[in-house]
Structure 1
Amino acid sequence: MSRCSVPQTRVVVLFAVIAIAAMGMGVGPVSAQDGGNQSATANQTPEYVAIDDQTRILEFDIGDGDASMVIESEEPQPMIVSDALAGIEQEGATTVPEKEYQLSEGRNEISLSVASINGDSAVSVSTRGGTIRLSSGVSGGSDDPFRAFGGASGLFTGVVMTVALAGLAAFYVVKTESKGVEKA
């Protein structure tokens, strides 16, 4: 005959429901931490970037496969823009695509399509006097080593829940055993 009465069964069921609810709460904050793609406005700079003594990049916006820049030149000169990420996912030697522009004196607006990896892009801008690399940065992954487990909070929530459920199961076995726990 079992010593487990109806109120004890209700307590066990209540603990099980609370444990299941706690599992669901551990998932919410993990999904809210997803950074996703960052806005390309972070790549815009209010100051200029000097390529050489006569050429400056006044504005640039790079990301999601597009690059646009405003370049100021003190004299007409050639400029080459290279796609820095083209072929980076391929093994072996890759030809870097280059596009040559003829800058006029003053402001020059340039827009082009470039390779993108996870929404990130980069180009190299070269003149006779120097080369500058413009990049949206690399957001290529999480710094969280527990990402596969739902992040650190997901991992530790799972560990706590596992220990709690094991304790609950042991408590249930001890309470429902008719003669108490017997040695094997």
Structure 2
Amino acid sequence: MKRFYVFLTVAAVLAAMGMGVGLAAADEPDDDTHSILDRTDAENASELQVETVQNWATDEQLEALNDSERERVETWLEDAPELESAELDEYEVAFGDGGTWITDYELNDGEARITFIVENQRTVDVEDAMDGIGEDGIVEPYSREYELSEGETTISMDVREFRGASTVGVTVDGTTARLSTEMQDPETEEENPFHTFGGESGLFFGTGMATTAAALGAFIVIRQEESGVIEA
């Protein structure tokens, strides 16, 4: 009987310890969030760090924390800077599921200027799609690789113009977007049926000369004939 009571006592102690461990685990944020809260002052936190804590701090997670931990997380979020999501209300291109945006671009005078906003450090490829246009043979277009830091970055690259237009391809994680300006129509003369004869003025001048020469020739012939009759 004593053994039975001892067994129940040990089981109860172990169960209590297990519950304590479970509560302690529930009271602790995950490793990434805990690291941010421990090592980063809220005022100096990056957008990515703020977003990480916000995504973790759901109502369910906060309710599982003890009072001191919950207050700590809520206070940290209150002191953290606001996420600048307003900048993304207007953008030119969004890549994939988000995280990389082109907010502005300009192609002018042989230069491409592109402004990106990225949530995490990202590599982008920019290719001059007009490179080699109008040339004979196989041409590998010029391209450059850029490392973008978190936040806003503006890059610039020399590009080729063709008929006043430029085109670049921007590739992020296998997704490519093309940025371009309108191509101007080539300046061509209107088809002129009298072009071979020097245009209308050349044609009329030639016709006038031919008519004058013919009239003069006829006049000379008539005068010669008249002279012949008189002499006879």
With structure 2 as the length reference, what TM-score do the two structures score?
0.44
Q: State the distance in 2 between where 1:162 and 1:90 align.
A: 38
Which of 118, 123, 137 is the equivalent residue of 1:91? 137
Q: Does 1:159 pair with 2:205?
A: no
Which of 156, 168, 175 is the equivalent residue of 2:208? 168
Q: State the distance in 1 between where 2:149 and 2:126 align.
A: 16
Q: State the distance in 1 between where 2:108 and 2:137 align.
A: 23
> Per-residue displacement from partner, 1:139-183 (whole Å, max 9, x unpaired)?
4733x3xx3xxx447949943223322331243234432328x9x
Q: Which amino acid aligns with 2:211?
A: F
Cα shift at 1:51: 3.7
Identity, in percent, stands at 27
Q: State the distance in 2 between where 1:87 and 1:174 align.
A: 58
Q: Does 1:49 pair with 2:92?
A: yes
Greater fraction of residues in strand: 1
Greater fraction of residues in helix: 2
Q: State the distance in 1 between where 2:204 and 2:140 align.
A: 58
Cα shift at 1:137: 4.0
Q: State the distance in 1 between where 2:201 and 2:177 align.
A: 52
- 1:51 and 1:126 in contact (8 A); partners too: no
Q: Does 1:132 pair with 2:177?
A: yes
- 1:61 and 1:67 in contact (8 A); partners too: yes
- 2:104 and 2:115 in contact (8 A); partners too: yes
Cα shift at 1:135: 2.4
Q: Which has the greater radius of gyration?
A: 2
Cα shift at 1:132: 0.9
Partner of 1:65: 110
Give the 3 Å change call, closer, same or farther, for CA 126–51 of structure 1 in structure 2: farther
Long gaps (5+) in structure 1: 1-46
- 1:120 and 1:138 in contact (8 A); partners too: yes
Higher relative contact order (CA 8 A, sep 6+): 1
> Per-residue displacement from partner, 1:27-84 (whole Å, max 9, x unpaired)?
xxxxxxxxxxxxxxxxxxxx73214133332222224432111122243322111222
Q: State the distance in 1 between where 2:122 and 2:92 align.
A: 17
- 2:197 and 2:203 in contact (8 A); partners too: no
Please provide the CA RMSD for this pair. 3.4
Q: Does 1:78 pair with 2:99?
A: no
Cα shift at 1:102: 2.3
Q: State the distance in 2 between where 1:132 and 1:138 align.
A: 18
